[in-house]
Amino acid sequence: MSSVASSEASSSRSAASASPSPSRSPSPNPDGPEPSESNKTFAELGISSQLCDACTTLGFKKPSDIQIEAIPPALEGRDIIGLAQTGSGKTAAFSLPILQTLWENPQPFYALILAPTRELAYQISQQVSALGTGIGVRTAVIVGGMDMMSQSIALSKRPHIIVATPGRLMDHLENTKGFSLKALKYLVLDEADRLLDMDFGPIIDKVLKVVPKERNTYLFSATMTTKVAKLQRASLNKPVRVEVSSKYSTVSTLLQHYLLLPLKLKDAHLLYLANELSSSSMIIFTRTVNDAQRLSIILRRLGFPAIPLHGQMSQSMRLASLNKFKSGGRSILVATDVASRGLDIPLVDLVINYDMPTNSKDYVHRVGRTARAGRSGKSITLVTQYDVEILQRIESHIGKKMSSFDVDKEAVAVLTDTVARASREAAAEMRETGTGGSGGKRGRDGKRKAFSDKDERDRDDDVVEAGVPRKKNKFSNAGKKKGGPPGGRR
């Protein structure tokens, strides 16, 4: 097999064991999967020497719990159900068995890995490429927001492993001449609960109809929802179920705070926090694209190195934002939940929830961006008078009480006029440029481009988030459904 070139960043996740392996709270690790308490080695799991060398190169000193439980039955040819959270080595758990059998029987279009978001697809591909460097694996990333023609050319080179989001994959299956998955040996559905929450179910059903029934299927999910259970029955054959810890929890090194404030002073409090904690690298999570864009402009106008990340940015801009933040070029990332799940962003000191996540799973994923790999970290959640019940629900689920974060109220009051002026300027800039869902000719043209037929099934519509019904949109087939599906695609 020939050498590989593919660039995407590592995505390790947490996992699960159905046998007597001890349960533990996941601790996401940007430097690789968290090792288990076992003394087993990758070689003892049956992994070949070439792949063991690749694991050593990547800093995987010994296998994590999910890898110990999932790899041996996978190498025996069994289907796998892995119930796992972010951070404990899921990607390697399904990649290593695929790569090992690929080395023994190389052929194009050998495996397909489906991921819910574009960024996660890129990261999975990079880790697969890194693990398979020694055996010359070829990968291709097929996601929306990128040029169809260049992706068609990549597919014409007949890669061994395809990492894709469902919508764009289906576009190519329907429209790219000569592309077929009839010889597929492995199908992986990563973050299956998220895939189905994003209404990719009908597309996944179509994919299942065009891939061989005689294949291996790996299904990894954070929780066993009703939709995931239905998908399991439809696509897996006598699977082995592995589970380490299915309870969502936060790590002990994370200091969790809440800040109770009136809604009208939300922006002023955010600016106060950005100023007081300016030495920290931080991610600010918002519910909507509009707020992510607006707050990043406000912060930049007031001298803070902020950069946005949301689903209405082009894919190249999204990757550029991530890279600038990871490299330290910007110390503040203002993002929707597109950045909350699966992404390895090391050395984040602080997570601020500008908007309350409406469920505890999203909260755990958000705050999991800090306090990684045993490091300490801090989260501050802004709580208005309308959010108290949600706060109590999250505290009950994670089994911890957050402590109140004290602010200087007089200092916040001094900032209100400054923030109001910057907010007006940001609104004017967004109207002029048509960003963040605002008007303006450029904005309307951008929406037409973003919601073209090619990307319709793979778009990241996070203008409306967290269970709020999506508004109808004349450019959106999905929006024509009555009320629209809850939440937005990130």
Whether CATH 3.30.1330.10 fits 254-433: no
* Mean pLDDT, residues 395-410: 94
Helix axes 360-367, 388-398, angle to 10 degrees: 70
Q: What 8-state DSSP symbol labels residue 339?
A: G
* Mean pLDDT, residues 478-484: 42
Q: Which residues in 222-331 belong to E strands, given as ranges?
A: 240-243, 254-260, 282-285, 306-309
Residue whose entry in the numeric block shows the structure tokens 């996944």: 204
Q: Indicate whether 470 pLDDT > 60.
A: no
Q: Indicate whether 136 pLDDT > 80.
A: yes
The dihedral over CA atoms of 329, 330, 336, 337, expressed in degrees to the nearest 10, equals 60
Q: pLDDT averaged over the chain? A: 82
Q: How far is CA 351 from CA 71, 355, 379, 391, in A?
A: 34, 12, 5, 16
Tens digit of pLDDT for each residue in 108-121?
999 999 998 888 89
Q: How far is Cα 271 from Cα 150, in angstroms, rounded to an integer? A: 42
Helix axes 118-131, 90-104, angle to 10 degrees: 50
CB atoms within 10 A of CB 230: 12
Sign of CA dihedral 354, 488, 127, 154: negative
Q: Indicate whether 24 pLDDT > 80.
A: no
Q: How far is Cα 467 from Cα 415, in angstroms, rounded to an integer? A: 32
Residue whose entry in the numeric block shows the structure tokens 């179920």: 241
Confidence of residue 260 (pLDDT cuts 50, 70, 90): very high
Sign of CA dihedral 408, 411, 417, 421: negative
Q: Which residues in 115-224 belong to E strands, given as ranges?
A: 139-142, 161-164, 186-189, 216-221
Sign of CA dihedral 419, 421, 424, 425: negative
- Residue 85 is predicted with a pLDDT of 65
Confidence of residue 86 (pLDDT cuts 50, 70, 90): low
Please report, rounded to a whole number, the percentage of residues in the chain having pLDDT higher than 70. 78
Q: Are 89 and 32 in contact (CB under 8 A)?
A: yes
| Domain 43-243 matches domain 254-433 at the CATH topology level | yes
Provide long-range contacts, Cβ within 8 A and 24+ apart, for 274-279.
274/299, 274/304, 274/332, 275/304, 276/407, 277/349, 277/350, 278/304, 278/331
Nearest to 35 by CA among 4, 64, 6: 64
Higher pLDDT, 418 or 253: 418
Q: How far is Cα 10 from Cα 31, in angstroms, rounded to an integer? A: 9
CA angle (29 as vertex; 25, 35 as ends), nearest 5: 70
CB atoms within 10 A of CB 379: 26
Q: What's phi and psi for 403, nearest 5 deg?
A: -95, 150
* Mean pLDDT, residues 292-306: 97
Confidence of residue 374 (pLDDT cuts 50, 70, 90): low
Nearest to 13 by CA among 245, 287, 289: 245
Tens digit of pLDDT for each residue in 414-447?
999 999 999 999 999 999 988 765 444 444 444 4
* Mean pLDDT, residues 378-399: 94
Q: How far is Cα 418 from Cα 271, in angstroms, rounded to an integer? A: 10
Tokens of 197: 């929450």
Q: What is the pTM of this model?
A: 0.70
**What top-level class would CATH report for the domain 43-243?**
alpha beta
Sign of CA dihedral 129, 132, 133, 138: negative
Q: How far is Cα 68 from Cα 226, in angstroms, rounded to an integer? A: 27
The answer for residues whose C-beta is within 8 angstroms of residue 125's C-beta and 6 or more apart is 6, 8, 113, 139, 140, 141, 161, 163
Please report, rounded to a whole number, the percentage of residues in the chain having pLDDT higher than 90. 58
DSSP labels, 49-94: HHHHHHHHHTT--S--HHHHHHHHHHHTT--EEEE--BTS-HHHHH
* Mean pLDDT, residues 179-186: 96
Sign of CA dihedral 386, 388, 393, 398: positive
Higher pLDDT, 455 or 303: 303
Tokens of 62: 């010994």
Lowest mean pLDDT among 1-15, 369-383, 433-447: 1-15
Query: Would you kindly state where each structural domain of the chain is located, as residue ranges?
Result: 43-243, 254-433
How would you class 309 by CB atoms within 10 Å of its CB: exposed for 0-12, middle for 13-18, buried for 19 or more? buried
Segments in 184-263 forming alpha helices (H): 192-197, 201-210, 226-235
Q: How far is Cα 388 from Cα 246, in angstroms, rounded to an integer? A: 26
Q: How far is Cα 378 from Cα 253, in angstroms, rounded to an integer? A: 9
